[in-house]
Amino acid sequence: MAKPDDRSDNAEKLQEMANNTEQNLQEAEDYLDEHADEISTTELHDIQSKNERREQSIGAFRDEAEDEEEYQQSNE
């Protein structure tokens, strides 16, 4: 038998994921600021690409968290 769908903490988890991703993005930016003259062009592009994906993920996490909060409020 399948477990019931417990969405009670989804918004919180999504917000935490957004915060963690934002922290990783900031750490990568700090790394670039400190080591820009020491890293290869390839590494620079890799980090920049990853940060672009992180920015997209942060937006998606936050949008989904809002949807979850709306869902929870409509089902109270």
Domains in the chain, number? 1
Give the closest residue to 17 by CA, choosing from 6, 9, 8, 28.
9
Q: Does the global pTM surpass 0.85?
A: no
- The model's confidence at residue 60, banded by pLDDT at 50, 70 and 90, is very high
Distance CA 44, CA 16 (A): 27
pLDDT for the residue numbered 16: 96
1 lies in some domain: no
Residue 6 counted as domain residue: no
Residue 3 lies inside a defined structural domain of this protein: no
Residue 57 lies in a domain: yes
Residue 5 in domain? no
Domain of residue 58: give its range.
11-32+40-74
Q: What separation, in Å, do the N-terminal and C-terminal C-alpha atoms of the chain show?
A: 26
Measure the CA–CA gap between 21 and 40, rounded to whole angstroms: 24
Q: What is the mean pLDDT of the chain?
A: 92
Q: Is residue 70 part of a domain?
A: yes
Whether 4 is in a domain gets the answer: no
45 falls within a domain: yes
